[in-house]
Amino acid sequence: MAITGTKGATGLTGNTAIAYAMKQINPDVAPVYPITPSTGIVEDFSSYVADGAVDTELITVESEHSAMSACIGACAAGARVMTATSSQGLALMWEMLYIASGMRLPIVLTDVNRALSAPINIHCDHSDSMGARDSGWIQIYSETVQEAYDNLFMAVRIAEHEHVLLPAMVCMDGFITSHAIENINLIGDDSVREFVGEYKPAHSLLDTGNPITYGAMTLPDTYITFKHQQSKAMAAAKDVAVEISAEFGRKFGRNYGLFDAYRLADAEAAIVILNSAAGTSKVAVDELRKQGKKVGLLRPRLFRPFPFEEITGALKHLKAVAVLDRVDSMNAFGGPLFNEVRSALYDLEKRPKVMSRIYGLGGRDYKVADAVGAFEEVLKAAATGRVETLQKYITL
């Protein structure tokens, strides 16, 4: 990894930044199985382990299913545990993701978003993390390298918070963010250590003086109670995320909320979009604003839990909204973000018109012209009060 200082900033790719953040967090255990495009995280981090720069026990396993299984075992033993994956790797972890969240183990995973097979494709879309959206993991999406780096520290705090105790996933776009070099501001090692603190687990399987059982059978008399507890913890994670990101902002000067609103307050038409494509869309917002068009953007950061009240509050004044998904739910009714946003707006007396646009699957470029095209459709819906096409693929 080449890190070159430039005016106080450091040029890093998304992967190197995440590996660097992991080095600074210095987790106890990292079970890993590299997969494109998140391989760089594992490569760089394994160098830190080999160089003795961290105290982490790096476990090289034979599959992502094993990686998540080892994460669960290590976390149940009381360790702070981190890993990273993409695409098929996350898909292979699937059953273990539910076990991690059901056992309330605050594992932190970086998912470098990549399309799911078939056809096989190594490039960016959100079908991997969206496939895991109901697995009980907190999901935080990142627009930039800086944000992915910062999110990892916040994810540790949110996951381990006593009101939460749930695993957390930090998502960033494959190649677009993971492999692009960006000048970012690093936080000092001491400040990171102070911010993330020491992980104090409530239980440990290694505490032989106090034997415990993880993963016991529960029957109809108790299972629903545990799921209810988990559901309440997920609801609590929203408030904790607000609190932790406010603390992060106070300490390090970069302020993040539940979502990023761009020129939205006086807008009539807006795009809702996740991750790096928001940056492209913001350029389109600026161009259209110059022409006097009242457009804006909302980029959710926290997708699980879904902060529906806050997002409704930010969108309720609009006339029309296009929700852009980099994944298709294959329900013939729009992408996952579209369905969440549209559902959130339902309770309004007077709600904006909402349309679903699927873009950029398998790494297809999403350019400023595509964002402008989407905005033109939303502006038309805002003017006419009608949505001509509810669901449509763009960037085809």
Partner 1 sequence: MTNKPSKADKNHLPLGGVIPKGGTAHDYSTGGWRKLTPSVDKSKCTNCMICWVMCPDSAIIVEDAKMIGFDLEHCKGCGICAVECPDKISAIKMEEDKS
Instruction: Tell me which residues touch partner 1 (CB under 8 A).
Output: 102-105, 165, 202-203, 210-216, 218, 221-222, 225-226, 229, 233
Residue number, 218 or 331, with CB nearest to partner 1: 218
Instruction: Report how far residue 131's alpha carbon sits from residue 69's, in angstroms, rounded to the nearest whole number.
Output: 19
Q: What is the nearest approach in angstroms of partner 1 to the Cβ of residue 337?
A: 29
Residue number, 52 or 211, with CB nearest to partner 1: 211
Residue number, 69 or 395, with CB nearest to partner 1: 69
For β-strands 82-85 and 138-141, DSSP reports them as unpaired
Residue 122: how many CB atoms within 10 A of its CB?
Answer: 17
Residue number, 188 or 215, with CB nearest to partner 1: 215
Element (H, E) at 146: helix 145-160
Q: Quick one: CA dihedral 337, 338, 344, 350, positive or negative?
A: positive
Q: What is the nearest approach in angstroms of partner 1 to the Cβ of residue 230?
A: 8
Map residue 192 onto helix, strand or coil.
Answer: helix
Residue number, 106 or 336, with CB nearest to partner 1: 106
Instruction: Report how far residue 236's alpha carbon sits from residue 154's, in angstroms, rounded to the nearest whole number.
Output: 15
**Which residues have a Cβ under 8 Å from the Cβ of 106 and sit 6 or more positions away?**
75, 156, 159, 160, 164, 165, 166, 167, 168, 199
Residue number, 167 or 335, with CB nearest to partner 1: 167
Q: What is the nearest approach in angstroms of partner 1 to the Cβ of residue 303?
A: 23
Tokens read off for 277: 């494509």
Q: What is the nearest approach in angstroms of partner 1 to the Cβ of residue 97?
A: 14
Tokens read off for 363: 């790494």
The total number of residues shown for the chain amounts to 396
Residue number, 218 or 343, with CB nearest to partner 1: 218
Q: What is the nearest approach in angstroms of partner 1 to the Cβ of residue 242?
A: 22
Single out the residue of 122, 114, 389, 119 nearest to residue 275, CA to CA. 114
Q: What is the nearest approach in angstroms of partner 1 to the Cβ of residue 136?
A: 11
Q: What is the nearest approach in angstroms of partner 1 to the Cβ of residue 144?
A: 34
Cα–Cα distance list, 85 to 113, 114, 172, 207, 367 (Å): 9, 10, 11, 30, 27
